[in-house]
Amino acid sequence: MRCLESARLLSERRDHPLPLGKRIGLRVHLLICSLCRAYRTQIEAVCNISHHAGIAAPGHGAQLPPARKQSMQDAIDRSSG
């Protein structure tokens, strides 16, 4: 198995079960390839970071412009009568 296929499978196994042969091939490749082991750690980190980002959506200061807020509240007030 080449590293590029290993990288693809490390992603795909997050989305669907891999066939047995692919699972075994990937496991063997990871045993002998330190770069792909590091890549596995990094891809898992990317996904964990994204999971937290999706929940927290911190934005760090991103705010609706005041004028936009006012127009929104005006629209709500009009619609709520």
Residues in the site for another protein, rule: CB under 8 A?
A: 3-4, 6-8, 11-12, 14-16, 34-36, 38-39, 41-43, 45-54, 56-65, 68-69, 71-73, 75-77, 79-80
CB of 17 to another protein, least distance (A): 11
CB of 24 to another protein, least distance (A): 20
Cβ neighbours for 32, distance < 8 A, ≥ 6 positions apart: none
Spatial separation of the C-alpha atoms in residues 24 and 65, rounded to whole Å: 54
18's tokens: 């891999």
Spatial separation of the C-alpha atoms in residues 17 and 20, rounded to whole Å: 9
Spatial separation of the C-alpha atoms in residues 23 and 13, rounded to whole Å: 9
> Cβ closer to another protein: 24 or 64?
64
CB of 75 to another protein, least distance (A): 6
> Cβ closer to another protein: 21 or 58?
58
